[in-house]
């Protein structure tokens, strides 16, 4: 029985080897003797593949605005940024069958130049031109070279991509440039007149008259420090006069002077949020917008004076009259008309 077992095992082994040999022969029949190893890939081949991948990413992940595909892609610097970005633009043109506008930029330390590069590529020459104008405006002082073409534009920008501002700025460029142009004589959707804006701002204020303002300033005891703030320009104060005791703050500086969070520009008195600030201008219009702006800073007691300085003066309240006005009053009407 042992002999039979050994004989059976030997026979099985020969059968298995024969079977493996048969399978090997069969597999070898499917392998062509004409096959050759793939040639080694060059740097140009790799660059082309990367360009195609970036183009695919730009097209596949794009947003759509007014039927235009838009996207901003940042990639690392290459040895030939200009040539590489052109490869990307050409690949995008082959892949994207609808209207598009893309900004593709290189970031990181430049290799062959002093600047990084951004290509603005589009299916429309007009969109490229709009994008170029916005880009040069947003990166003013940083653009140092340009290579234009009909449907793309490569520009060298110093340190592009080093901060989050740059990518956000490029997104703003492609969004605005891709929008369908509107009639310049028609107001854009969502826009409002200054009268509408003024009315909305005043609805959030408890405006007071000159008499009420004067009374508040004369109160011996007040819950919080009260200030009358003159935001008129120097020419108006010189020609019309001023109110004694008022704080003269240029309109351009108002928010900085009255922001309690400001570390450098605020007034020394601005150390609390309950200050009573009564703003006035010449006629009571600009002061409403200014007072609302102060409320947005957290100065919720800010308001403005109805009618402005003119209403204060017409009410007979104390003013500092300019010297020439004093002279006219003393001379009388006859001589003042000379």
The pLDDT tens digits for 267-307 are 999 999 999 999 999 999 999 999 999 999 999 999 999 99
Q: At what angle do helices 164-178 and 125-138 cross, to 10 degrees?
A: 140
180 three-class SS: coil
- CA–CA separation, 135 vs 163, rounded Å? 16
Domain boundaries defined on the chain: 44-178, 197-332
28 pLDDT band, cuts 50/70/90, is: low
Q: Would you state the pLDDT for residue 259?
A: 97
CATH number (3.30.300.350, 3.40.50.720, 3.40.50.300, 3.40.250.10) of 197-332 reads: 3.40.250.10
Q: What is the pTM of this model?
A: 0.56
* In this structure, CATH architecture of domain 44-178: Roll (3.10)
Whole-number Cα distances in Å, 274 to 66, 223, 316: 47, 9, 30
- Scanning 96-209, the segments in alpha helix (DSSP H) are 125-138, 164-178, 194-202
Q: What does the pLDDT look like over 222-240, one tens digit per residue?
A: 778 999 999 999 999 999 9
Q: Is the pLDDT of residue 3 over 50?
A: no
100 three-class SS: strand
What are the residues whose beta carbons fall under 8 Å from the beta carbon of 96, sequence distance 6 or more? 59, 69, 123
């Amino acid at each position: 029985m042992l002999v039979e077992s050994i004989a059976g095992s030997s026979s099985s082994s020969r059968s298995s080897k024969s079977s493996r040999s048969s399978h090997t022969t069969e597999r070898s029949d499917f392998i062509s003797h004409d096959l050759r190893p793939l040639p080694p890939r060059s740097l140009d081949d790799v660059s082309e593949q990367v360009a195609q991948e970036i183009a695919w990413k730009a097209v596949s992940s794009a947003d759509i605005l007014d039927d235009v595909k838009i996207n901003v892609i940042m990639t690392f610097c290459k040895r030939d940024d200009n040539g590489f970005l052109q490869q990307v633009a050409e690949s995008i043109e082959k892949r994207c069958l609808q209207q598009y506008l893309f900004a593709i930029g290189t970031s990181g330390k430049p290799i062959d130049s002093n600047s990084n590069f951004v290509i603005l590529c589009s299916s429309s020459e007009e969109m490229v031109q709009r994008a170029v104008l916005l880009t040069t405006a947003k990166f003013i002082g940083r653009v140092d070279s340009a290579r234009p073409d009909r449907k793309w534009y490569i520009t060298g920008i110093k340190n592009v991509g080093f901060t989050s501002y740059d990518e956000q700025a490029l997104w703003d460029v492609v969004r605005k440039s891709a929008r369908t142009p509107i009639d310049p004589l028609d107001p854009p959707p969502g826009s409002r007149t200054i009268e509408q804006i003024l009315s909305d701002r005043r609805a959030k204020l408890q405006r007071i008259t000159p008499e009420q303002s004067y009374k508040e300033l004369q109160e011996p005891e007040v819950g919080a420090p009260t200030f009358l703030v003159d935001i008129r320009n120097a020419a108006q104060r010189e020609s019309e006069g001023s109110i004694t005791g008022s704080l003269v703050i240029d309109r351009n500086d108002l928010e900085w002077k009255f922001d309690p969070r400001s570390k450098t520009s605020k007034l020394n008195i601005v150390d609390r949020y309950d200050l009573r600030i009564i703003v006035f201008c010449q006629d009571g219009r600009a002061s409403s917008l200014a007072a609302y702006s102060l409320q947005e800073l957290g100065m919720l007691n800010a308001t403005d004076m109805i009618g402005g300085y003119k209403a204060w003066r017409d009410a007979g309240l104390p003013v500092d009259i300019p010297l020439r006005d004093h002279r006219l009053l003393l001379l009388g009407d006859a001589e003042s008309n000379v």
